[in-house]
Amino acid sequence: MLTTTPPAASRTMAQALDPHVHAAWARQCHALSPESIRLAALDWASHLALSPGRQMDLAWLAWQETVELAAAMLQPVGEETPASRDRRFAAPEWRNWPFHVWRKTFLLRQHWWEQAVRGVWGVSQHHEDVLSFLARQWLDVTSPGNLWFSNPTVLQRTAGEWGANVGRGAQALAADTLRKLGDSPQPGLEDYVPGRQVAITPGKVVLRNELMELIQYSPATGQVHPEPVLMVPAWIMKYYILDLSPRNSLIRYLVGEGHTVFCISWKNPDAADRDLGMDDYLKRGMFDALDAVCNIVPDARVHVAGYCLGGTLAAIGAAALARGGDQRLKSLTLFAAQTDFSEPGELGLFIDESQVSLIEAQLAETGYLKAEQMAGAFQMLRSYDLLWSRMINQYLLGETTDINDLMAWNMDTTRMPARMHSQYLRWLFLEDRLSEGRYPVDGRPVSLSDIGAPLFCVGTETDHVSPWRSVYKLHNLTSGELTFVLTSGGHNAGIISEPGHPHRHYRLGTRMQGMPYTDPDSWAGAVPEQQGSWWPAWLAWLQGLSGGPVTPPAMGSPVYPALDDAPGQYVLVK
């Protein structure tokens, strides 16, 4: 008699064998699923094969671009063109023969592929996005600007220095290679040690558990606003992005303006923390911290501010508190934090069922996501800024770049527990549970529409991690007062935008309760641009919700005594 149920022994073998095979495959392909790429390519190629009209369009485009290239070959040397304004080819040398022809060839080829992977009947949007991204990565390898023999700036520098720049570049390449093989730190990092040069705002650790430390910062003014501020940073980064050097520390800025500030410093997890999940970060992180803040500063409601994934967690926590009638939150601020993941930007290219399953197989063996994997994903998203421009400047032009505080912080990477990272990818990115009212806290889903506290939300114009239009979708999920800021810069530099920083601007608008919805592009077109940092605008918003000055609270309390000086122990764990 035939049966469709495999024998128990066969199921046991599959359960024991398959995860190890998938984990080994993940190591070979650096946890980037080749199956996802093949599926996208097959989807595109098979549908293109059945689309003769689209084939004719692409053939005609190729002919037009061939004619355009022929015309470019006859173009007068030095003539300004739209291509000259591409920052990759902005140097005036690119207008000279034959470099302007190579530049034009590359840009036309790039444009053809951009058109080729789009608009094919039947191809899914996700597969279009994947192929478009991969085409850009592949084309960048052959960009004339990335090759020494076709980059006029490199050739000019080499001739002018008689090859000395090549020698310096070779030395830098050798040093970087040896450093990576020996797992040695980047030179200059010793100038940015937490507690010495960065993360030096005075304070005390008043709570430590298995997941985080809570830092209370010492008052810098004789009187303070009665409502404390609790900062919830993301655990995919060290907390001191909010407390860099004294000149650009958001925490120091708030303390100096009369606010009592608390900040969570997350533990850098290892294999022993593999079973920590999103609920643990909510309860042992945000909720434990909130309990401590309310004990140290009793009878005061709390301004909560979350950054990136910490902002997503803060929104989840605020919704859970509101559902239970907890009124301890005075306001909620989200910095570059998504609450709707239906359009997460280019980071979503790495997140589909095949990709997540491959990561989960690797996580099952290691117990955590390595910091290098996350850094590699971000590097791919900004390949020109983080890879190619650095290679050109350092290895071809022989230039050295001094590390600054933000760069040093970016190199101080963290790991992520296996269970949490799997839930983060599945519950938020793949299933978008939060925006759909299906994200569970204590076994029941929460809804962001329950949040009644005033909201302040910041998006950044060039954010590759939390695209500002995705961040803006908080307007669809809440109905109360919401102040939205769109600021210049990216995911990190846009937030760390202290007063006096040059070339900064922002837009700010408030949606009052009951006002109709405005789409993000119409909003950006209607709201005037303001010069400078958005920090003073947020400060004014906080102070408008805060009470009159009072005596600063004690550092810690009998229940939460001071344990260590800031920045504590967890931030130092590599």
**Nearest by Cα to 368 from 501, 487, 235, 183:** 235
What size, in residues, is the chain? 574
Could you give the percent of the chain with pLDDT greater than 70? Answer: 92
39 is written with which tokens?
């599926």
In terms of Cβ atoms closer than 10 Å to its own Cβ (0-12, 13-18, 19+), residue 196 is exposed
Model pLDDT for residues 366-405, shown as the tens digit of each residue:
898 876 666 656 656 555 565 677 788 888 888 887 889 9
Whole-number mean pLDDT of the chain?
90
pLDDT confidence tier of residue 190, bands split at 50, 70 and 90: confident
CB 23 within 8 A of CB 361: yes
Strand locations in 447-539 (E):
455-460, 482-487, 505-511, 529-531
516-535 b/e (C-beta count within 10 Å ≥ 16 → b): eebebeebbeebeeeeebbb
Range in 85-99, 205-219, 435-449 the model is least confident about? 85-99
122 is written with which tokens?
């039947």
Does 140 score more than 50 pLDDT? yes
**Nearest by Cα to 224 from 200, 194, 182, 255:** 255
> What pLDDT shows up at residue 78?
58
Range in 204-208, 365-369, 532-536 the model is least confident about? 365-369
> What pLDDT shows up at residue 357?
85
> What pLDDT shows up at residue 496?
95
Does 249 score more than 80 pLDDT? yes
pLDDT confidence tier of residue 1, bands split at 50, 70 and 90: very low
Model pLDDT for residues 6-26, shown as the tens digit of each residue:
555 555 665 667 777 777 777
Mean pLDDT of 197-207: 97
Mean pLDDT of 340-356: 85
Match 């030095």 to its residue by tokens.
78
Q: Under DSSP, is residue 456 helix (H, G, I), strand (E, B) or coil?
A: strand
> What pLDDT shows up at residue 189?
84
Mean pLDDT of 93-117: 91
* pTM for the whole structure: 0.91
pLDDT confidence tier of residue 5, bands split at 50, 70 and 90: low
Mean pLDDT of 170-177: 86
Q: Under DSSP, is residue 464 helix (H, G, I), strand (E, B) or coil?
A: coil
Alpha helices in 163-308 (DSSP H): 164-181, 250-256, 278-280, 288-296
List the catalytic residues: 308
**Nearest by Cα to 550 from 305, 258, 251:** 258
